[in-house]
Amino acid sequence: MKIYNTLSRRKEEFVPLEPGKVKMYVCGPTVYNLIHIGNARPMIVFDTVRRYMEHKGYAVNYVSNFTDVDDKIIKKAIEEGVEASVISERYIAECKKDMEAMNVRPATTHPLATQEICGMLDMIGTLIEKGYAYTAADGTVYFRTRKFKEYGKLSHKNLDDLQGGNRSLLVSGEDQKEDALDFVLWKPKKDGEPYWESPWCNGRPGWHIECSVMSKKYLGDEIDIHAGGEDLIFPHHENEIAQSEAANGTQFAKYWMHNAFLNIDNKKMSKSAGNFFTVRDIAQKYDLQVLRFFMLSAHYRSPLNFSAELMESAKNGLERIVTCADKLNAYLTNENITKEKSNKEIQLLIDASKYNERYDEAMDDDFNTADAISVIFELVKFINTNTDENSSKEFVEALLKQLTTLSDICGLILTRKEEILDKDIEEMIAARQAARKEKNFKLADEIRDSLLQKGIILEDTREGVKWKKA
Ligand code: AMP
Ligand code: ZN
């Protein structure tokens, strides 16, 4: 299996640190809003990497954090007049719902920055002891970037270019730095902000230190794969390497994987630019399996442009696979189906096994999901050509299993959501209204979510509750 390693800028053979095991860390979202479909790209891509590694027999320990203390979370908390934790807890819960709907499996561990402050204080202490960090007069702790001789090895940046081009790194309030390249490990609190006690000042951590610490705690000093979107290469991942390798004295991650951006009108999709769709927006119109299929129809290192046409073609593509599975299931319900496979069918199954090999070849080549999906389509064509009402049970079952397995590695579910009757929807809406009247908002939300799971979207309007199918 080959992985493109950002560190070497080459595809390298994957050799795990420990045979049969993979330790993988994926930087997760900052939780101050519903996630947008750009954030969904690394979730879907690296969930697929995990699924494929498991298919190959590896035990994968998959860690992905939620950044739950940050300027944007605090700003939103102040706007709403609530604690920062109210904001982060709300959006973690919403993010988990989106993940489930996209069939992104929960990580082995989802650590939260606010729960790992002790580890951060420890690592910052070690960095100070080793001379890699220093405290300014106001209590801010900075990393002494130039002391880490390999700084720039991931982003392939030269320190002197950085120094020359980044005078702006000296932002206001950071004029006590020894060097413009130094970055914050710990900063003093401001009024109204959450803070923790520390030997240097009451304050909160910088962003980069959390991932170094959580990765060490849950996976150890050395890990196999560290991943995230390509915007994280610099400075976030470069700084993580500097912190971890300076503190632990060993190589931090062997393979660095980065997904390219999801764009809109060929511009980066981002919250700050305002040109984004949330995953929830897409769920209004499509089953999120379609979004997953769309993301995987491109290689993860190629930029992907979001458009209505591509979503429609993803919908049609997925429908072709699901229809094929439906057809096989229908054959299996035929009471007169013969049980044992014929000699011809035995030969056909041998022929069909080449699709498994070709699928694995595509995935072994740096997780080429675009090619892997083409192989699924070829298998669909093969099935459509070689099966009918007279096929045997064993034959149909074997092909259905093959189709399901290859789809499942990409996280694509082939069973249709159960159809819900209008009468049941009306009953659930009435139960939700009753719950709201009794101020049982928890139950009311549960009912709304369970309808959403069935593809029914509720809208509270002046004329009452309206519903539509996603
Ligand atoms: P953030 O919440 O901004 O820290 O982002 C969480 C993850 O989403 C990171 O791995 C980002 O690199 C990734 N990400 C953010 N925007 C996009 C985008 N437009 N396309 C692909 N990945 C993105
Ligand atoms: Zn990170």
pLDDT in tens, 290-311: 999 999 999 999 999 999 999 9
Contact status, residue 373 vs residue 363, Cβ threshold 8 Å: no
Residue 171 has a pLDDT of: 53
Ligand nearest to the CA of 298: 1
Residue 85 has a pLDDT of: 96
Judge if the beta carbon of residue 229 lies within 6 A of ligand 1: yes
Distances (CA, A) of 50 to 288, 352, 437: 19, 25, 45
DSSP conformation class of 274 = T
Q: Which residue's CA lies nearest to atom 17 of ligand 1?
A: 38
Q: Which residue's CA lies nearest to atom 12 of ligand 1?
A: 229
- Report the atom number in ligand 1 closest to the C-alpha of 30: 2
Judge if the beta carbon of residue 269 lies within 6 A of ligand 1: yes
Q: Is 284 helix (H, G, I), strand (E, B) or coil?
A: helix
Ligand nearest to the CA of 65: 2
**Degrees, nearest 5: CA angle 389-395-401:** 110
Judge if the beta carbon of residue 271 lies within 6 A of ligand 1: no
In sequence order, what are the residues at sequence separation of 6 or more whose Cβ sits closer than 8 angstroms to the Cβ of residue 404? Answer: 325, 414
CA 207 to ligand 2 center in whole angstroms: 8
pTM, whole model, 2 decimals?
Answer: 0.90
pLDDT digits (tens, 9 = 90+) for 39-82: 999 999 999 999 999 999 999 999 999 999 999 999 999 999 99
CA 398 to ligand 2 center in whole angstroms: 42
Judge if the beta carbon of residue 73 lies within 6 A of ligand 1: no
Judge if the beta carbon of residue 290 lies within 6 A of ligand 1: no
Q: What is the DSSP string of 315-363?
A: HHHHHHHHHHHHHHHHHHT-TT---SPPHHHHHHHHHHHHHHHHHHHHH
pLDDT digits (tens, 9 = 90+) for 443-457: 999 999 888 887 788
